[in-house]
């Protein structure tokens, strides 16, 4: 069964460094998402992406964040200058055309900022 | 803003039924979801119910929705040790975005 994959599973970085989190959505899906979950807190929406542009973003998704679909398969989240409070689990998700309410999640990338 | 609340822990004996409860505040919710997260894995969409439905059954899973009280529950019949996971309740609207608002998750522990 097709699934969303994410790499790396764990990323450790120094404060102020840039990180890129990678996702490969399910191949025939058209809508892509990033969420994050800070330890002990709720899963929070960051951004959604459709037709090569951001379709919606939350207040969390400020100028330090960016997303890109550099080719036909990858979907990336870049955090430009990481802060301690960016430490979280980051989940990628995708959904098919006509069924946007059905989101398929990847296993997540745990980002630790030191 | 929207809020979704659920209890943090539930412990049941193998073979019993589990009932995980959730309340939400957004009266315009169109979809109510249950996701399951096993250790080291992502969120898996278990089932969802439209807000104009009262109940949905899918094998061992029964979802009940009380729209008046904004209360959602997930019942797992004949709970197995493999059902041990975190269960997230979420609500979403069809007003363009379908972005779910999640609860904090309920850790279901199934013991023999």
> CB–CB of A100 and B98 under 8 A?
yes
Q: Which residue of B has its CA nearest to A6?
A: B42
Encoding tokens for residue B12?
A: 């049941």
Contacts of A102 in chain B (CB under 8 A): 45, 48
What does DSSP say about strands B101-102 and B43-50: parallel, antiparallel, or unpaired?
unpaired
Q: Which pLDDT score is estimated for A1?
A: 78
Contacts of B43 in chain A (CB under 8 A): 43, 91, 93, 105
Which of the pair, A21 or B93, is modelled with greater confidence? A21
CA distances for A54 relative to A6, A65, B21, B53, B64, angstroms: 20, 12, 34, 32, 35
CA distance B58 to B47: 8
Mean of the pLDDT values across residues A24-46? Answer: 93
Confidence of residue A2 (pLDDT cuts 50, 70, 90): confident
Confidence of residue B40 (pLDDT cuts 50, 70, 90): confident
Strand, coil or helix: what is B82? Answer: helix
Q: Which pLDDT score is estimated for B41?
A: 82
Average pLDDT, chain B: 91
B83 DSSP assignment: G
In tens, the pLDDT along A4-31 reads 999 999 999 999 999 999 999 999 999 9
Q: B5, B39, B98: best mutation site toward chain A, by most A Cβ within 10 Å?
A: B98
CA-based nearest distance A45→chain B, Å: 7
Residue B1 has pLDDT above 70, yes or no: no
A80 DSSP assignment: S
Q: Which pLDDT score is estimated for A99?
A: 87
Q: Which pLDDT score is estimated for B108?
A: 97
Which of the pair, B93 or A10, is modelled with greater confidence? A10
Residue B87 has pLDDT above 90, yes or no: yes
């Amino acid at each position: 069964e097709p699934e969303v994959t994410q790499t790396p599973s764990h990323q450790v970085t120094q404060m102020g460094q840039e990180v890129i989190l990678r996702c490969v959505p399910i191949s025939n899906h058209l809508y892509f998402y990033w969420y994050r979950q800070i330890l002990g807190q709720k899963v929070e929406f960051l951004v959604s992406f459709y037709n090569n542009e951001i379709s919606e973003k939350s207040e969390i998704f400020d100028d330090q964040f960016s997303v890109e679909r550099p080719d036909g398969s990858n979907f990336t989240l870049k955090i430009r200058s990481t802060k301690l409070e960016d430490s979280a689990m980051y989940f990628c998700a995708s959904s098919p055309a006509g069924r946007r309410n059905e989101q398929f999640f990847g296993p997540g990338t745990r980002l630790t900022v030191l | 803003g929207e809020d979704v609340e659920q209890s943090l822990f539930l412990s049941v004996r193998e073979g019993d039924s589990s009932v995980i409860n959730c309340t939400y505040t957004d009266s315009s919710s169109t979809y109510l979801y249950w996701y399951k997260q096993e250790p080291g894995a992502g969120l898996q969409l278990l089932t969802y119910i439209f807000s104009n439905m009262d109940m949905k059954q899918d094998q061992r899973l029964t979802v009940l929705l009380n729209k008046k009280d904004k209360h959602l529950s997930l019942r797992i019949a004949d709970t197995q040790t493999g059902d041990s996971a975190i269960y997230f309740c979420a609500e979403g609207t069809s007003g363009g975005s379908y972005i779910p608002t999640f609860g904090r998750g309920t850790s279901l522990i199934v013991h023999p």
